[in-house]
Amino acid sequence: MIEDITLVTGGTGLVGRAVQEVIEAAPPQGQKWVFVGSKDADLTNYESTKALFERVRPTQVLHLAAFVGGLFANMEYKVQFWRKNILMQDNIMVLCHEHGVKKLVSCLSTCVFPDKTTYPIDETMIHNGPPHPSNEGYAYAKRLVDVQNRMYNSQYGCNYTSVIPTNIFGKHDNFNLKDSHVIPGLIHKCYLAQKAGEPFTIMGTGKPLRQFIYSLDLAKLMVWALREYNEPDPIILSVGPEDEVAIGDVARSIARAMDFQGEVRFDATKADGQFKKTASNAKLRRYLPGFKFTDIDDAIGETVAWFKANYASART
Ligand code: NAP
Ligand code: GFB
């Protein structure tokens, strides 16, 4: 007998595909998981989202769908990052409430935190000051997920919460050269540089620091959050501050995984974005002290191998 129907929005994306892999590896008894993408419903549209809820009749929702991109896309399309994400998250909350959904987990990002802050950043600091101007559209939209969760909890007693991942990468990522995040963008650039016998060029100085999480590690934590994490306040899903890495080191790891022998260059005329957004994973460690993260070089190796094997069909 099916006890729970879990709707995963963004099911065709980087994180959604990883959640699907985790669920398919150990299919849970008495549960149906439904993974949807934008072809199944336009979540920026209330009627389309309503029709999806009427078809699926979810009892739980993992809301991963979003208008997503790297630093350069965020700088160029601030209005779209704001509006599309606001519309999607509002429609999801309204419909979860209308359908009596028992649990909703939505996704923020560590770029929502204030730009001027102390480190490490923790979950209590989201609304303490303006985010970095490069991604203010996305950051302000995502901050409101936290506000909406609290309001639905306080007025209606809804079990809606959010998770805050750091920079994610892995199989099925968006490898577009212009709009993607740094790891998929650099994997694609390194692949092309190797084919053409040209230098591998990294945007910016390579000095900014980031905490990266492999999509399969995050997927396991997302499934845990849906089942076990019941605070309305968010939880950061991240490796610890000690595992923060410089963009230049990540680029060199990609070059090694690709066996790229040519010149590695930095174009310091391009934006660096936020220097760092070091996040604490102390709250996660209190819940899951033994969780093991995949080593970043191993995860980059798996992602590079996947990209090379799937070049023809990868999102580029
Ligand atoms: P992604 O690979 O770009 O996937 C985005 C997903 O959203 C796709 O399934 C896409 O469907 C769907 N989508 C976009 N617009 C839609 C619309 N109007 N209606 C319905 N579905 C729509 O993104 P991701 O990296 O997996 O991101 C998952 C979540 O993690 C997001 O909430 C994001 O904000 C958050 N996050 C990501 C990162 C990161 O580094 N990637 C970091 C922190 C937080 P189609 O495939 O059909 O287009
Ligand atoms: O992944 P990324 O765009 O995310 O990384 P952010 C940006 C950093 O990588 C900057 C450098 O220091 C860039 O100068 N970089 C080097 C590159 N080469 C490239 C490249 O080819 N592509 C890209 N994209 N960067 C995003 C936010 O910021 O993080 C989003 O803008 C979101 O809102 C996401 O939250 C997780 O960490 O800078």
Question: Region 202-206: what's the mean pLDDT?
Answer: 97
Kindly list the protein residues whose Cβ atom lies closer than 6 A to any atom of ligand 2: 70-72, 74, 109, 111, 134-135, 138, 167, 180-182, 185-186, 202-204, 208, 210, 247, 270-274
pLDDT, tens digit, for every residue of 280-290? Answer: 999 999 999 99
User: Number of structural domains, the chain?
Assistant: 2
Tell me which residues are annotated as active site: 138
pLDDT, tens digit, for every residue of 46-105? Answer: 999 999 999 999 999 999 999 999 999 999 999 999 999 999 999 999 999 999 999 999
Q: How far apart are the C-alpha atoms of 103 and 9, rounded to whole Å? A: 14
For the Cβ of 12 lying below 6 angstroms from any atom of ligand 1, the answer is yes
Q: Are residues 128 and 255 in the same domain?
A: no
For the Cβ of 238 lying below 6 angstroms from any atom of ligand 1, the answer is no
Q: Is residue 285 part of a domain?
A: no
Q: What is the pLDDT of residue 118?
A: 96
Q: Is residue 283 part of a domain?
A: no
pLDDT beyond 90 at 145: yes
Q: Are residues 125 and 177 in the same domain?
A: no
The residue whose CA has the least distance to atom 9 of ligand 1 is 10
Q: Calculate how far, in angstroms, residue 137's C-alpha sits from the geometric centre of ligand 1.
A: 15
Q: Are residues 187 and 303 in the same domain?
A: yes
Host domain of residue 108: 4-168+212-239
Q: Are residues 140 and 197 in the same domain?
A: no
Q: Are residues 230 and 304 in the same domain?
A: no
Q: Are residues 123 and 202 in the same domain?
A: no
